[in-house]
Each structure stands twice: as C-alpha cells, then as structure tokens.
C-alpha cells in the first residue's frame, strides 16, 4: 500500500524507547494520524480488548514495538512472563491486524532470535539452525513465533507483513533500572552513580579516583549497538518501501568487546575509578554481530556512530534522572 500524510498508523508500545522514537520520526516526516495507547489504556495481552480497539480506531498500518523486555537477570528470574506475555502481545496484534484486513504490518524483534553459536556475522538464514542462548531463550522463542506468524501470513495470503530484527538498542527513553536494563544503559547508570557517590562522599583529592564499578562477566564477549533513532529511520524506510523478503536484520555491521564498551562509556561519563570484572556472572552469547547486507541492498544504512550515540544518550540521562520511574518500558 502507498502511505500518505493522513494514513492511520498504529504504533503498539509508543511510550517505550523504540515506539517513542518511531513516533517522533513519523511526526517529523509529516504523518498526522498516529495512534497510540498506553498499557493502562489498552492491555495488549487481552485479545478482546485488542479487537475492540482495532474496530474502533480502524488502523491501516500496524507497527509492533510492544514487548516485555529486560536483560540477562530479568530473563532468568521471569522466564514464564517473558515467554507468555510476549506471545500474547504479538499474537493478538498480528492476528487482529490480519483479521481486520490490514495489509502492512511491521514486527520488531531482536538479534537474540539467532542461535547462540551461529556463524558470524548473523545472517537471516541462520534462524532455527541451532540452540539459543539460554539466558534469553524465553524472549527469543516468543519473538521467533512472531517472525514465523508474519512469514506465514505473507506466504499464504500475500500481505506485506515484515519482521525487522535490530541489534542491541540504546538511546532516549531507555531503561536505566539496574535490575532490568540491558548492558549499555546499565553501564551508564553504574559509572554515573559511582562518579556521583565519589563526589558526595567527599573523597580526598589524593585518593585513587572515583568509586570502583563492578561489571558482569569477563568483558570478552562482542556486541553491536544501534541508536534507537537509527532504528526508527529503518522502520519508516520499511513502511514507505516494498521489501522482497519477510525478515531483515537492522544494525551497524560493526561490534566491539564489552570491555571496550565499558571503557568508552567510562570516558564519556568521566568516571576515573577501577573497573572490576565479576567472572562468576554469565557472559551470555560470545558474539552477536549482524549481517546487515540485506538492509543495505534495500537502500538503508545506520548513520550514528557509537561514541556520538552514547554521548547523546548520557546527555538525555542527565536531563531526565528524576523521571525514570515513569520512563521504564513496561
């Protein structure tokens, strides 16, 4: 379908980091009929509520940026919720959109859908070729079912349902709660807190620097990071163009070690203390670099460098510290 400025576009999860970035991008591009509901207004786990909402609002395009998300700790502690709630949310959205005759649906997932030991960089064709990383398999299994549901609708009914799999995301409206956040925002929070605690404790000028920061694992795994505003641009690009396949990786195609990431964030935050690596904690997948050649061939490429993106994210963090309870992704 061809979009215009008043196409009715529903963004599920529009208050989260990803959904809000997509909303801002669409607004800035001149789209005027954006639809969003908070989790308090619409429980996406409730099938009837979702159907009633679609009947009332009549969206023409759906972007699924809604999910229960979290890092290794949260996935380990709440496996059932991460599996079931994510399947409920996406199944209700995908099936209701299909039943309502909606032709354009964008499903957002994660690079964790790929096998733990898949060859690097990760190609879309590696899906379901090996075991998943155990520390986030519950979320990954749910997301795989969403990818396959969209693929089935595309294959059987010819509708333009596509899945975009972003690499690790960060940026404005990220989750900085140390119990549930991902690695990059957690590091920003830890280095900042250690720096501020050092100032507040009035340490001597001759001390060795800021309070030390302890990080999980060995620091050797390699990760790729994408600024959420780049993902928003990729989503809008996918909305405005016809893609040939059902599954596309979205990333930068570049990675670094967790140790290198920590040192970069430490420099940006201005923390001067020691970094302690707790090797008793899990590392997760050894490497997760995305092959982004399909998106590149389609005409889209990420623009934001990692250092620039982290600087912008830390500036946002400093501006919004008092609001984090309201900004956590539900």
Rg (CA), the chain: 20
CA distance linking residue 292 with residue 123, whole number of Å: 8
* Annotated binding residues for substrate: 190, 216, 223, 283
CATH number of the domain where residue 214 is located: 3.40.50.720
219: in domain = yes
Predicted confidence (pLDDT) per residue in 193-226, tens digit: 999 987 766 544 445 579 999 999 999 999 999 9
Nearest of 151, 144, 37, 69 to residue 105 by alpha carbon: 151
Q: How many domains does the chain divide into?
A: 1
CA distance linking residue 162 with residue 244, whole number of Å: 9
pLDDT of residue 7 exceeding 80, the answer is: yes
pLDDT of residue 329 exceeding 50, the answer is: no
Predicted confidence (pLDDT) per residue in 144-158, tens digit: 999 999 999 999 999
Predicted confidence (pLDDT) per residue in 83-115, tens digit: 999 999 999 999 999 999 999 999 999 998 999
Nearest of 149, 39, 164 to residue 94 by alpha carbon: 149
What's the mean pLDDT when you consider all of the chain?
A: 92
Q: Are 25 and 41 in contact (CB under 8 A)?
A: no
3: in domain = no
CA distance linking residue 133 with residue 79, whole number of Å: 13
300: in domain = yes
Confidence (pLDDT) at 206: 42
4: in domain = no
Side-chain-facing half-sphere of 108: CA atoms under 13 Å: 31
2: in domain = no
49: in domain = yes
Burial of 166-188, coded b for 16+ CB within 10 Å and e otherwise, reads: bbbbbbbbbbbbeebbbbbbbbb
pLDDT of residue 325 exceeding 90, the answer is: no
pLDDT of residue 328 exceeding 60, the answer is: no
Confidence (pLDDT) at 208: 55
Predicted confidence (pLDDT) per residue in 168-188, tens digit: 999 999 989 887 788 999 999
Q: What is the mean pLDDT of residues 234-251?
A: 97
In which domain, by residue range, is 49 found?
9-192+210-327
Confidence (pLDDT) at 205: 46
At 330, is the pLDDT very low, low, confident or very high (cuts 50, 70, 90)? very low
198: in domain = no
* Annotated binding residues: 13-19, 108-111, 143, 166-169, 182, 190, 216, 223, 283
* pTM, rounded to two decimals: 0.91
202: in domain = no
Q: Which of 10, 114, 139, 314 is catalytic?
A: 139
For the question of residue 139 being annotated catalytic, the response is yes
């Amino acid at each position: 379908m061809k979009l215009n400025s008043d196409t009715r576009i529903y963004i599920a999860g529009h208050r989260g980091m990803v959904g809000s970035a997509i909303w801002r991008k669409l607004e800035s591009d001149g789209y005027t009929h954006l639809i969003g509901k908070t989790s308090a207004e619409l429980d996406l786990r409730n099938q009837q509520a979702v159907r009633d909402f679609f009947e009332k609002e009549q969206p023409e395009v759906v972007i699924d940026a809604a999910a229960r998300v979290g890092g290794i700790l949260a996935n380990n502690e709440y496996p059932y919720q991460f599996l079931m709630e994510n399947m409920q949310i996406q199944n209700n959205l995908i099936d209701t959109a299909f039943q309502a005759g909606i032709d354009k649906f964008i499903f957002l997932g994660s690079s964790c859908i790929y096998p733990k030991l898949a060859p690097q960089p990760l190609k879309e064709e590696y899906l379901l070729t090996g075991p998943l990383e155990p520390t986030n398999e519950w979320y990954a299994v749910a997301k795989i079912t969403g990818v396959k549901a969209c693929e089935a609708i595309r294959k059987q009914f010819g509708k333009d349902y596509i899945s975009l799999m972003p690499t690790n995301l960060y940026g404005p409206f990220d989750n900085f709660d140390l119990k549930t956040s991902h690695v990059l925002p957690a590091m920003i929070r830890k280095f900042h807190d250690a720096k501020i605690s050092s100032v507040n404790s009035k340490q001597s000028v001759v001390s060795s620097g800021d309070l030390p920061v302890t990080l999980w694992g060995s620091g050797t795994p390699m990760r790729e990071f994408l600024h959420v505003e780049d993902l928003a641009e990729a989503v809008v690009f996918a909305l405005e163009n016809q893609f040939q396949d059902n599954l596309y990786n979205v990333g930068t195609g570049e990675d670094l070690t967790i140790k290198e990431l920590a040192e970069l964030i430490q420099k940006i935050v201005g923390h001067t203390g020691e970094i302690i690596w707790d090797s008793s904690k899990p590392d997760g997948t050894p490497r997760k670099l995305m092959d982004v050649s399909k998106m590149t061939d389609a005409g889209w490429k990420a623009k934001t460098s990692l250092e620039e993106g982290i600087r912008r994210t830390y500036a946002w963090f400093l501006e919004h510290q008092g609001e984090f309870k309201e900004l956590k992704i539900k």
